[in-house]
Amino acid sequence: MQLLGVTASAPAKVILFGEHFVVYDEPAIVMAIDKRAYASADVRKDKRIHINSVDLGMSGFFEGENFLEERGGQTARKTLEPLKIAIQKVLEHSKMNVGISVEVRADIPVAAGLGSSAAVAAAVATAVGRVLDLKLSKEEIFRISYEAERFVHGTPSGIG
């Protein structure tokens, strides 16, 4: 059973101590803060993945490896690609052959060290999982988000 119009959110985080060491599996002190990323997901009848990042003013369709930009110019694909990765990973879990539309909003400042991309990836994975009626564990959401983060950062901290 697929649900209609699901929204999920994930918090930003701040690393209080050990910021650069977490990449090397060293301990850190981390806490969530009161800033969130929100993702809404709907199932599409076609096989396309549509992503709309409201705050960044970017949107477009992924169809296989092709990308059709709607807004955001030449940087739209690179910016939206991590979210496509997260969506594809959830679709692989579901074994469903459907398309997905996702809209993202966030009140997390970008490039401020607050984990905005990780929060967005986690919210997207959660919303898509819920709209497909999957029971993804926190560990599965983390792994999916981590794959999206690897695209963005190469070696992310692993703190979602």
Rounded average pLDDT over 14-26: 70
CB-based contact 87:18 (threshold 8 Å): no
pLDDT at residue 63 in the model: 93
- pLDDT interval class at 23 (50, 70, 90): low
**How many whole angstroms separate alpha carbon 7 and alpha carbon 42?**
9
Closest CA to 151 of 69, 87, 95, 106: 87
pLDDT band, residue 69 (cuts 50/70/90): very high
Q: What percent of the chain has pLDDT over 70?
A: 88
Structure letter (DSSP) for residue 99: E
The domain spans of the chain are: 6-153
Run of H or E residues at 29 = strand 29-44
Query: For 56-65, 77-86, 142-151, which range has the lowest pLDDT when averaged over its residues?
Result: 142-151
How high is the pLDDT of residue 159? 53
pLDDT value for 51 = 97
Residue 111 pLDDT: 78
Quote the CA–CA distance of 103 and 40 in Å, as a whole number: 5
Predicted confidence (pLDDT) at residue 24 exceeds the cutoff of 80 = no
Laid out side by side, the sheet with 99-106 consists of 6-17, 29-44, 99-106, 49-53, 58-63, 66-71
Answer yes or no: is pLDDT of 114 > 90.
no
Give me Rg for the CA atoms of the chain. 15
Rounded mean pLDDT, 39-47: 93
CATH 3.30.230.10 at 6-153, yes or no: yes
| pLDDT (tens digit per residue) in 3-15 | 567 899 998 888 7
Higher pLDDT, 3 or 97: 97
Q: Cα–chain-centroid distance for residue 135?
A: 17
How far apart CA 89 and CA 87 sit, in angstroms, is 5
Distance, CA of 160 to CA of 143 (rounded, Å): 10
